[in-house]
């Protein structure tokens, strides 16, 4: 005679208080525990690559200034422009270069920005190329 012969053939107990868990809920009990919350995000942020700012020489700055003057003279015609500019990263050293196309609406020399018709504002000091 075995030690469990008296209970081996009894029906499985079903609780009257707690509903039965689905397979997904039962499996979730054994999911890995994230003891370091946010650590994975921190690793991804550190691995994210940023670009260094390109310093323009005087000749390139003069070309951009001349192009801005040309755009300013033609603002009534909303000239189409393609601008490549630098956006500093808010979380770490470096940033990224973005190229945007659109029609110029205004050049604000006081705040040193060019405003496109789609309301995009580009800081003049961050521009590396205007076509």
> Is residue 68 in some structural domain?
yes
> Is residue 22 in some structural domain?
no
pLDDT (0 to 100) of residue 28: 83
> Is residue 52 in some structural domain?
no
Rounded distance, CA 108 to CA 110, Å?
6
pLDDT tens-digit series, residues 46-60: 888 899 999 999 999
> Is residue 42 in some structural domain?
no
**DSSP element (H, E) containing 73:** helix 58-73
pLDDT (0 to 100) of residue 74: 96
> Is residue 14 in some structural domain?
no
> Is residue 10 in some structural domain?
no
Expressed as residue numbers, the domain containing 113 is: 58-130
Rounded distance, CA 33 to CA 29, Å?
10
pLDDT (0 to 100) of residue 38: 83
Residue among 49, 55, 59, 33 at smallest CA distance from 95: 49
The total of structural domains in the chain comes to: 1
pLDDT tens-digit series, residues 54-109: 999 999 999 999 999 999 999 999 999 999 999 999 988 999 999 999 999 999 99
- pTM here is 0.68
- Distance, C-alpha 14 to centroid of its chain: 50
> Is residue 94 in some structural domain?
yes
pLDDT (0 to 100) of residue 114: 97
> Is residue 40 in some structural domain?
no
Locate tokens 């604000």: which residue? Answer: 108
């Amino acid at each position: 005679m075995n030690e469990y012969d008296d209970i081996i053939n009894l029906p499985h107990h079903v609780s009257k208080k707690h509903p039965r868990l689905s397979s997904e809920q039962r499996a979730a009990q054994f999911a890995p525990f994230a003891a370091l919350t946010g650590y994975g995000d921190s690793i991804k942020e550190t691995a994210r690559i940023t670009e260094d700012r390109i310093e323009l020489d005087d000749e390139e700055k003069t070309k951009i200034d001349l192009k801005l003057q040309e755009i300013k003279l033609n603002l009534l015609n909303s000239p189409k422009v393609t601008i490549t500019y630098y956006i500093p990263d808010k979380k770490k050293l470096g940033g990224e270069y973005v190229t945007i196309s659109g029609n110029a609406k205004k050049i604000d020399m006081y705040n040193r920005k060019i405003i496109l018709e789609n309301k995009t504002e580009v800081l003049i000091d961050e521009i590396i190329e205007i076509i």
